[in-house]
Amino acid sequence: MRPVLTIILVILALVAVVVFLLLGNTSVVTDDPVNNNLDINNNLNIQDPIIPFDDNLNVISPVVEDLSIDCASDFSCFLNNILTCTPDVTYTQEDSFSYVESGTNYAFTLGYTSLGFNEFNECEVSLDLVDHGYTFTDSEKQKYLNDNYTEAGVLEIEASLNMYNRHLISKTGVCKLDVSTYTVSTSSTQFLDSIMQNIQNCSGDLFSVTENISDASFYIYVNK
């Protein structure tokens, strides 16, 4: 019986050693934080967090201050700003002149925009011819009627006068100003006259001279 008992004890001892080794390997895996995290995530099926999006959230853009000044038809507003060559100042001049010698009235709408100083420290202003045109004075119109022209015939003559420079409407140009000379300008007509007297300082489509004799460049004779 002793040999059999001895064999049984040896077998039990071997089994105990195998169990001990298996338990030791299991503890190593359990103590591994990486493996533990993987096992927990796999077991619990944890997913990446989802950040909720609120459709009502508005993205606030930086506020850009609008420094432009619209003087509309207020010439004093425009003049006060042009004396310091403040940029982005607009002004609209609606005016008319009567030329007695030619028997015509000239009406125009001219838009101004101050551009500020250029790289040569020269003050610049943009001119935009919105509209203009000639009509006969009453006395001149009566002369044509006395010569047996009809009302329609007089209108046709007026239209022929305007064909010469209607192409200038909507064209723009840029003039360099000597702002020191405008301190004496008390009216829009004086200001315009100062520009016309220095027309050589203006450039652009409004002031360009073409080869077509019917395409006149822009110029206004200001009545003083």
89, 95, 101, 102: CA torsion to nearest 10: 90
Spatial contact of 187 and 79, defined as CB atoms under 8 Å apart: no
In DSSP terms, 31 is beta-bridged to: none
What integer pLDDT is reported at residue 222 of this predicted model?
A: 93
Please give the pLDDT value at position 164.
84
Q: What is the pLDDT of residue 4?
A: 52
Confidence (pLDDT) at 11 = 61
In this predicted structure, what is the pLDDT of residue 28? 44
- Helices 2-31/33-44 angle, 10° precision: 80
Tens of pLDDT along 92-148?
A: 999 999 999 999 999 999 999 999 999 988 999 999 999 999 999 999 999 999 999
Residue 127 neighbours by CB under 8 Å, 6+ apart: 110, 111, 112, 172, 173, 174, 175, 195, 202, 206, 218
Q: Report the pLDDT value the prediction gives residue 216, as an integer from 0 to 100.
A: 80
Q: What is the pLDDT of residues 151-171, one digit of tens each?
A: 999 999 999 989 888 899 999
Q: Where are the domains of the chain?
A: 69-203
